[in-house]
Structure 1
Amino acid sequence: MVSPQDAESCIKNLHRTELHGRMISVEKAKSESESSSRRQTSANRADRRPSKEQKEETKENEENKETAEAEEGKEKKDGDVSGAESQRSASRTREKSLRSEKKERDVARARERSRMAREEERRRRAAEEALRERERRQRDEKRRLAIEREKLRSEREKIEREKNELLRLERERHRLEREKLELERLELKREQLRLEEERRKRGYESSSYRKPGSPPEPTYERDTRHKLVS
């Protein structure tokens, strides 16, 4: 401080004020050496002064005392006023802190709701994706089964066609064999008829060239030949 007046002014301004929500009290510090030296100096001066000056000093001290008491009462009133102001300031600070805490809680709840909504949306999308994947797999499986059934049907039809073709070929072969046998029988019959015709011709020729008076051929031999030919 530059002077004692500045120090006293600072003490008055800082006495019974609020700092960080607490009331503080500021007083002037007095050391024992200063107080003893001041008392000794004042005693020496009192011894040197005449009685008139002592009376004036006593009167001045009384006035200073009254002034100090008045200032003390004023400071007390100011302290009461500052105490009320400090209480109001403390209440405002508490309200502000409560509002800040409430705002922080609201922000935290809003963040939690937003996080839960995002989590719910993520789960819903995951469930929809799983459902779409399951439906896609079911469609693929159904398509694969349809293709397999179509292949089996084609194989059955092919086997049935081959079977029918084999049966047709077998019937055709049997028909050809029957026709061949029939042709062979006809050919054999023609051959038999031709041989029979030749034999008859030979018999007629032999009978026409036979001498008169010769006995006829035995009947049993001719019958035997006919039996052998038939």
Structure 2
Amino acid sequence: MIITVDGPGGAGKGTVSLRLARALGWYLLDSGALYRLVGLAAEQQNVALDDEAGLSVIAEQLDVQFLADQNDLVSVILAGQDVSHELRTERVGGLASKIAVLNGVRTALLVRQRAFAQPPGLICDGRDMGTVVFPAAPLKIYLTASADERAKRRLEQLQSKGVAAKLCDLKNDILERDARDMNRTTAPLKPAEDALQVDSTALSITEVVDLILAEAKRRGLMHEILYV
């Protein structure tokens, strides 16, 4: 059983996917974190972002675990070290977006991502989960929101951590990243043909999760809800 949740940054994919995984008792794959992990590891090992061969080796050797908690956060463990906080920074997010366009890195991570699929099920958070990684998934979600709303959410998130930022700068960063993701030649960001498209601009996380769970139940993909 696989549910894919694709969409642009700031649409709420991470929190929605975490809550779905907890509710169903399924495994979780944060595919965007894999690219961030490659970027972070490359930075630590002084591997250039245009060194496709070197980055592919890093991708093949990633030792990573995703551990969900009850506070809508996922701890990311890289080679035994918790890198969750650093992984969520705008700087590392920018590295990931640049690395994601490299075919060698994407190929190296494809098999790794598919290996996360195991019983009783998997929730996949990413940008090409339903179009490339798991094209046969029985339920594909494309979650989006307006750029203004996504920038506002990001600003609130940063401010809650005491980080200063400007709304206009965040919106520009979001639009630039959207353009890169949607216009890349390999696995561009787009809804799968059979995806259920959900606009979260005016919806709460709970409303989005309830909507997806209802659809999963309608399709016979779930037997019980363990926790919401």
Q: Which has the higher helix share?
A: 1
Given the two structures, how large is their TM-score scaled by the length of structure 2? 0.18
Given the two structures, how large is their TM-score scaled by the length of structure 1? 0.18
Rg (Cα) greater in structure: 1
Q: Which has the higher strand share?
A: 2
